[in-house]
Amino acid sequence: MSGKEIRLKKLYHHSDKLLIVPMDHGITIGPVVGLTEINETVKAVFEGGADAVVVHKGLVRYLKDTLGSNKGELIIHLSASTSLAPEAQANRKEVVSSVEHSIRLGATAISTHVNLGSPFEADQLRDVGLIAEECDKWGLPLLAMMYVRDGSKDHEFDSVRIRHAARVAEELGADIVKVNYSGSAESFKDVITGVKIPVLIAGGERLSSSGDLLSMVDDAISAGANGISIGRNIFQDENPAKLCAGIRSILDQ
Protein backbone atom coordinates (compact mmCIF):
# COMPACT_ATOMS: atom_id res chain seq x y z
CA MET A 1 0.00 0.00 0.00
CA SER A 2 1.35 3.42 -0.94
CA GLY A 3 1.92 6.21 1.53
CA LYS A 4 -0.87 8.18 -0.12
CA GLU A 5 -3.37 5.36 0.42
CA ILE A 6 -2.35 5.07 4.08
CA ARG A 7 -2.76 8.80 4.63
CA LEU A 8 -6.13 8.83 2.86
CA LYS A 9 -7.32 6.19 5.32
CA LYS A 10 -6.12 8.39 8.18
CA LEU A 11 -8.08 11.34 6.79
CA TYR A 12 -11.30 9.35 6.83
CA HIS A 13 -11.09 9.20 10.59
CA HIS A 14 -14.75 8.60 11.45
CA SER A 15 -16.54 7.23 8.39
CA ASP A 16 -16.56 7.26 4.59
CA LYS A 17 -17.62 10.95 4.61
CA LEU A 18 -15.17 13.76 5.34
CA LEU A 19 -15.63 16.70 7.71
CA ILE A 20 -12.78 19.14 7.12
CA VAL A 21 -12.59 22.60 8.71
CA PRO A 22 -10.35 25.05 6.80
CA MET A 23 -8.76 27.72 9.00
CA ASP A 24 -6.45 29.29 6.43
CA HIS A 25 -8.48 32.53 6.40
CA GLY A 26 -6.06 34.49 8.59
CA ILE A 27 -3.87 35.33 5.60
CA THR A 28 -6.83 36.32 3.46
CA ILE A 29 -8.93 38.36 5.90
CA GLY A 30 -6.85 38.63 9.07
CA PRO A 31 -7.23 37.35 12.67
CA VAL A 32 -11.03 37.14 12.71
CA VAL A 33 -13.19 35.65 15.46
CA GLY A 34 -12.53 31.92 15.73
CA LEU A 35 -8.92 32.19 14.62
CA THR A 36 -7.40 34.41 17.30
CA GLU A 37 -7.31 31.47 19.71
CA ILE A 38 -6.93 28.85 17.03
CA ASN A 39 -5.76 26.06 19.32
CA GLU A 40 -9.05 26.19 21.25
CA THR A 41 -11.05 26.23 18.02
CA VAL A 42 -9.16 23.24 16.64
CA LYS A 43 -9.77 21.34 19.88
CA ALA A 44 -13.48 22.14 19.63
CA VAL A 45 -13.95 20.97 16.04
CA PHE A 46 -12.05 17.76 16.73
CA GLU A 47 -14.22 17.21 19.79
CA GLY A 48 -17.27 17.57 17.55
CA GLY A 49 -16.04 15.00 15.06
CA ALA A 50 -14.01 16.86 12.44
CA ASP A 51 -11.58 14.65 10.52
CA ALA A 52 -9.04 17.36 9.73
CA VAL A 53 -8.24 21.07 9.78
CA VAL A 54 -6.55 23.12 7.07
CA VAL A 55 -3.98 25.71 8.21
CA HIS A 56 -0.98 27.57 6.89
CA LYS A 57 2.48 26.42 7.93
CA GLY A 58 3.11 29.13 10.51
CA LEU A 59 0.23 28.12 12.75
CA VAL A 60 1.30 24.52 13.28
CA ARG A 61 3.59 25.64 16.13
CA TYR A 62 0.51 26.59 18.18
CA LEU A 63 -1.28 23.29 17.60
CA LYS A 64 1.30 20.85 18.91
CA ASP A 65 -0.82 19.91 21.93
CA THR A 66 -3.89 19.30 19.78
CA LEU A 67 -2.46 17.62 16.69
CA GLY A 68 -1.10 14.12 16.95
CA SER A 69 -3.73 13.25 19.53
CA ASN A 70 -5.43 10.75 17.23
CA LYS A 71 -8.47 13.03 17.17
CA GLY A 72 -7.93 14.70 13.81
CA GLU A 73 -5.46 15.26 10.99
CA LEU A 74 -3.40 18.20 9.72
CA ILE A 75 -3.72 19.53 6.17
CA ILE A 76 -1.27 22.25 5.14
CA HIS A 77 -2.52 24.91 2.71
CA LEU A 78 0.09 25.94 0.14
CA SER A 79 -1.48 28.96 -1.58
CA ALA A 80 -2.30 32.45 -0.38
CA SER A 81 -3.43 35.98 -1.16
CA THR A 82 -4.79 38.81 1.00
CA SER A 83 -7.81 41.09 0.90
CA LEU A 84 -5.36 43.98 1.24
CA ALA A 85 -4.17 43.52 -2.34
CA PRO A 86 -5.62 45.69 -5.13
CA GLU A 87 -8.95 44.31 -6.32
CA ALA A 88 -7.44 43.15 -9.62
CA GLN A 89 -4.96 40.99 -7.65
CA ALA A 90 -7.41 39.55 -5.12
CA ASN A 91 -7.81 36.25 -6.96
CA ARG A 92 -4.10 35.72 -7.54
CA LYS A 93 -3.16 32.77 -5.33
CA GLU A 94 0.58 32.32 -4.91
CA VAL A 95 2.31 29.17 -3.67
CA VAL A 96 3.88 30.02 -0.30
CA SER A 97 5.15 26.65 0.90
CA SER A 98 6.06 23.18 -0.35
CA VAL A 99 4.97 19.59 -0.01
CA GLU A 100 8.32 18.64 1.47
CA HIS A 101 8.12 21.33 4.15
CA SER A 102 4.59 20.20 4.98
CA ILE A 103 5.87 16.69 5.59
CA ARG A 104 8.38 18.08 8.09
CA LEU A 105 5.48 19.78 9.87
CA GLY A 106 3.60 16.49 10.16
CA ALA A 107 0.96 16.99 7.48
CA THR A 108 -1.33 14.14 6.50
CA ALA A 109 -2.43 15.93 3.32
CA ILE A 110 -1.92 19.05 1.20
CA SER A 111 -4.41 21.71 0.13
CA THR A 112 -4.23 24.31 -2.63
CA HIS A 113 -6.59 26.90 -4.11
CA VAL A 114 -7.41 27.68 -7.75
CA ASN A 115 -9.59 30.54 -9.06
CA LEU A 116 -10.77 29.55 -12.52
CA GLY A 117 -11.77 32.35 -14.85
CA SER A 118 -9.50 34.86 -13.12
CA PRO A 119 -6.73 36.62 -15.05
CA PHE A 120 -4.28 34.42 -13.15
CA GLU A 121 -5.89 31.08 -13.97
CA ALA A 122 -2.97 29.79 -16.05
CA ASP A 123 -0.42 30.29 -13.26
CA GLN A 124 -2.66 28.56 -10.73
CA LEU A 125 -3.29 25.61 -13.06
CA ARG A 126 0.46 25.20 -13.48
CA ASP A 127 0.94 25.34 -9.73
CA VAL A 128 -1.69 22.75 -8.85
CA GLY A 129 -0.39 20.40 -11.55
CA LEU A 130 3.15 20.58 -10.18
CA ILE A 131 1.96 20.29 -6.58
CA ALA A 132 0.04 17.14 -7.56
CA GLU A 133 3.27 15.64 -8.89
CA GLU A 134 5.08 16.47 -5.65
CA CYS A 135 2.23 14.90 -3.68
CA ASP A 136 2.60 11.72 -5.73
CA LYS A 137 6.36 11.77 -5.14
CA TRP A 138 6.00 12.06 -1.35
CA GLY A 139 2.81 10.07 -0.93
CA LEU A 140 0.48 12.83 0.33
CA PRO A 141 -3.16 13.24 -0.73
CA LEU A 142 -4.04 16.52 -2.45
CA LEU A 143 -7.21 18.49 -1.76
CA ALA A 144 -7.86 21.03 -4.53
CA MET A 145 -10.14 23.94 -3.66
CA MET A 146 -11.63 24.93 -7.02
CA TYR A 147 -13.65 28.11 -7.46
CA VAL A 148 -15.09 29.93 -10.46
CA ARG A 149 -14.00 33.56 -10.04
CA ASP A 150 -14.57 35.26 -13.37
CA GLY A 151 -16.23 38.34 -11.88
CA SER A 152 -19.80 37.02 -11.95
CA LYS A 153 -21.30 36.02 -8.60
CA ASP A 154 -23.89 33.87 -10.37
CA HIS A 155 -21.18 31.89 -12.16
CA GLU A 156 -19.65 30.90 -8.81
CA PHE A 157 -22.71 28.73 -8.13
CA ASP A 158 -23.50 27.60 -11.68
CA SER A 159 -23.52 23.80 -11.77
CA VAL A 160 -22.09 23.59 -15.31
CA ARG A 161 -19.09 25.70 -14.35
CA ILE A 162 -18.67 23.94 -11.00
CA ARG A 163 -18.74 20.60 -12.81
CA HIS A 164 -15.97 21.86 -15.09
CA ALA A 165 -13.95 23.08 -12.10
CA ALA A 166 -14.17 19.69 -10.40
CA ARG A 167 -13.03 17.96 -13.58
CA VAL A 168 -10.01 20.27 -13.87
CA ALA A 169 -8.89 19.21 -10.38
CA GLU A 170 -9.25 15.52 -11.22
CA GLU A 171 -7.38 15.80 -14.51
CA LEU A 172 -4.48 17.65 -12.88
CA GLY A 173 -4.04 14.91 -10.28
CA ALA A 174 -6.01 15.99 -7.18
CA ASP A 175 -7.29 13.20 -4.94
CA ILE A 176 -10.19 15.19 -3.45
CA VAL A 177 -11.90 18.31 -4.79
CA LYS A 178 -13.74 21.07 -2.93
CA VAL A 179 -16.26 23.20 -4.82
CA ASN A 180 -19.17 25.52 -4.12
CA TYR A 181 -22.56 23.92 -3.64
CA SER A 182 -24.75 24.72 -6.63
CA GLY A 183 -27.85 25.33 -4.51
CA SER A 184 -29.87 22.19 -5.13
CA ALA A 185 -29.35 18.45 -4.87
CA GLU A 186 -30.62 17.98 -8.42
CA SER A 187 -28.09 20.32 -10.01
CA PHE A 188 -25.26 19.13 -7.78
CA LYS A 189 -25.74 15.54 -8.95
CA ASP A 190 -24.43 16.69 -12.33
CA VAL A 191 -21.26 17.92 -10.62
CA ILE A 192 -20.76 14.56 -8.88
CA THR A 193 -21.18 12.54 -12.07
CA GLY A 194 -18.49 14.54 -13.84
CA VAL A 195 -15.63 13.09 -11.77
CA LYS A 196 -14.59 9.92 -9.99
CA ILE A 197 -12.68 11.55 -7.12
CA PRO A 198 -14.51 12.52 -3.90
CA VAL A 199 -16.30 15.88 -4.04
CA LEU A 200 -16.65 18.10 -0.94
CA ILE A 201 -18.77 21.21 -0.64
CA ALA A 202 -17.52 24.61 0.51
CA GLY A 203 -19.45 26.74 2.97
CA GLY A 204 -19.35 30.00 1.04
CA GLU A 205 -20.44 33.23 2.72
CA ARG A 206 -21.70 33.23 6.32
CA LEU A 207 -25.17 31.70 6.46
CA SER A 208 -27.93 33.14 8.59
CA SER A 209 -28.17 30.14 10.92
CA SER A 210 -26.65 26.78 11.73
CA GLY A 211 -29.95 25.26 10.63
CA ASP A 212 -29.40 26.60 7.11
CA LEU A 213 -25.92 25.10 7.11
CA LEU A 214 -27.15 21.67 8.24
CA SER A 215 -29.85 21.74 5.59
CA MET A 216 -27.28 22.53 2.88
CA VAL A 217 -25.04 19.70 4.08
CA ASP A 218 -27.96 17.26 4.08
CA ASP A 219 -28.92 18.23 0.51
CA ALA A 220 -25.34 17.90 -0.73
CA ILE A 221 -24.88 14.48 0.83
CA SER A 222 -28.16 13.30 -0.70
CA ALA A 223 -26.80 14.43 -4.08
CA GLY A 224 -23.68 12.29 -3.62
CA ALA A 225 -21.15 14.63 -2.03
CA ASN A 226 -18.41 12.86 -0.08
CA GLY A 227 -18.48 15.38 2.74
CA ILE A 228 -17.77 19.01 3.52
CA SER A 229 -14.87 21.44 3.81
CA ILE A 230 -16.40 24.43 5.57
CA GLY A 231 -14.55 27.17 7.44
CA ARG A 232 -16.20 30.39 8.67
CA ASN A 233 -19.66 28.88 9.07
CA ILE A 234 -18.11 26.44 11.55
CA PHE A 235 -15.19 28.15 13.28
CA GLN A 236 -17.14 31.39 13.80
CA ASP A 237 -20.16 29.61 15.24
CA GLU A 238 -20.76 30.19 18.96
CA ASN A 239 -20.38 26.43 19.55
CA PRO A 240 -18.15 24.82 16.88
CA ALA A 241 -18.06 21.47 18.70
CA LYS A 242 -21.85 21.19 18.77
CA LEU A 243 -22.17 22.27 15.14
CA CYS A 244 -19.56 19.74 14.03
CA ALA A 245 -21.40 17.04 15.94
CA GLY A 246 -24.59 17.95 14.08
CA ILE A 247 -22.80 17.79 10.73
CA ARG A 248 -21.15 14.53 11.72
CA SER A 249 -24.54 12.96 12.42
CA ILE A 250 -25.68 13.89 8.89
CA LEU A 251 -22.51 12.53 7.29
CA ASP A 252 -22.68 9.24 9.18
CA GLN A 253 -26.38 8.46 8.83
Q: Which residues are catalytic?
A: 24, 147, 178
Residues 6+ apart with CB under 8 A from 238: none
Beta carbons of 247 and 231 less than 8 angstroms apart: no
CA dihedral (96, 101, 107, 108) positive or negative: positive
Amino acid identity at 77:
H
Beta carbons of 109 and 73 less than 8 angstroms apart: yes
Query: For residues 203 and 225, what is the distance between their CA atoms, to the nearest angstrom?
Result: 13
Residues 6+ apart with CB under 8 A from 209: none
Secondary structure (3-state) at 233: helix
Question: In the beta sheet, which residues pair with residue 9?
Answer: none
Conformation bin of residue 246: beta by default, left when phi > 0, alpha when psi is -120 to 50:
alpha
